[in-house]
């Protein structure tokens, strides 16, 4: 999966939200690792925009950060809006 939903780069939007929430903190990678229940190395990779969290880590982050949960919910809403104009295959 490319992470692009109709022109919306989901991966980068998610990583930007994570960076905005955790980068300003002292020991950002360690705080992010604790919040996601992952390793500090994984957290450093997310903050460097090299990798994105898996589903379990994302749920943990959403549970610990309203800003990240809001961003994910906004991405879901954007995807739903994009689908509203779609017809079922074969209906035309």
**Digits of tens for pLDDT over the chain (92 positions)?**
345 565 568 899 999 999 999 999 999 999 999 999 999 999 999 999 999 999 999 999 999 999 999 999 999 998 888 888 765 555 55
Residue 73 domain-assigned (yes or no): yes
* Helix (H) / strand (E) containing 22: helix 10-22
The answer to whether residue 9 sits within a structural domain is no
Cβ distance 70 to 16 under 8 Å?
no
The answer to whether residue 64 is domain-embedded is yes
Residue 54: CB atoms within 10 A of its CB come to 12
Residue 34: inside a domain: yes
Number of domains present in the structure of the chain: 1
Q: Could you tell me the residue range of the domain that residue 63 belongs to?
A: 27-77
Domain annotation covers residue 44 = yes
pLDDT value at position 82? 80
User: What's the pTM value of the predicted model, to 2 decimals?
Assistant: 0.81
C-beta neighbour count of 90 within 10 angstroms: 5
Query: Cβ contacts of residue 33 below 8 Å, gap of 6+?
Result: 39, 40, 42, 43
């Amino acid at each position: 999966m490319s992470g692009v939903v109709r022109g919306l780069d989901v991966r980068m939007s998610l990583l930007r939200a994570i960076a905005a929430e955790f980068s300003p903190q002292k020991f950002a990678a360690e705080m992010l690792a604790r919040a996601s229940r992952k390793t500090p190395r994984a957290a450093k990779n997310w903050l460097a925009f090299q990798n994105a969290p898996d589903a379990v880590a994302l749920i943990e982050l959403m549970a610990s950060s309203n800003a990240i949960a809001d961003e994910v919910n906004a991405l879901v809403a954007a995807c739903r809006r994009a689908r509203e104009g779609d017809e079922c295959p074969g209906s035309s």
